[in-house]
């Protein structure tokens, strides 16, 4: 759980939430049926390496609002 140290954005006052910029690297496979429709792609993300961002950005105004590393 990443409980934020603030309840709303200090810049725009939005309480919409925040996001992190995650780094994703790798190669994956996207499955199709022969008629061109999407097939089962439940493992699409499992082949990728994730690195979660350490900075939280406001969903509304995109400004940096706090540092996730300082939350512990």
**Residue ranges in contact with Zn ion by CB under 5 A:** 9, 11-12, 14, 58, 60-61
Find the shortest distance in angstroms from Cβ 7 to Zn ion: 12
Q: What is the dihedral of CA 51, 45, 26, 69, to 10 degrees?
A: 0
Which CB sits closer to Zn ion, 13 or 43? 13
Burial of 68 (0-12, 13-18, 19+ CB in 10 A): middle
Residue 63 CB, shortest distance to Zn ion, in Å, is 5
> Is the Cβ of residue 56 or residue 58 nearer to Zn ion in the bound state?
58
Q: Which is nearer to Zn ion, 11 or 32 (CB)?
A: 11
The SS3 of residue 71 is helix
């Amino acid at each position: 759980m990443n409980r934020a140290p603030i309840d709303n954005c200090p810049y725009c006052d939005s309480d919409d939430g925040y996001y992190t910029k995650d780094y994703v690297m790798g190669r994956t496979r996207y499955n199709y049926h022969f008629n061109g429709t999407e097939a089962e792609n439940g493992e699409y993300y499992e082949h990728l390496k994730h690195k979660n961002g350490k900075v939280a950005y406001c969903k509304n105004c995109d400004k940096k609002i706090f540092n996730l590393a300082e939350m512990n």
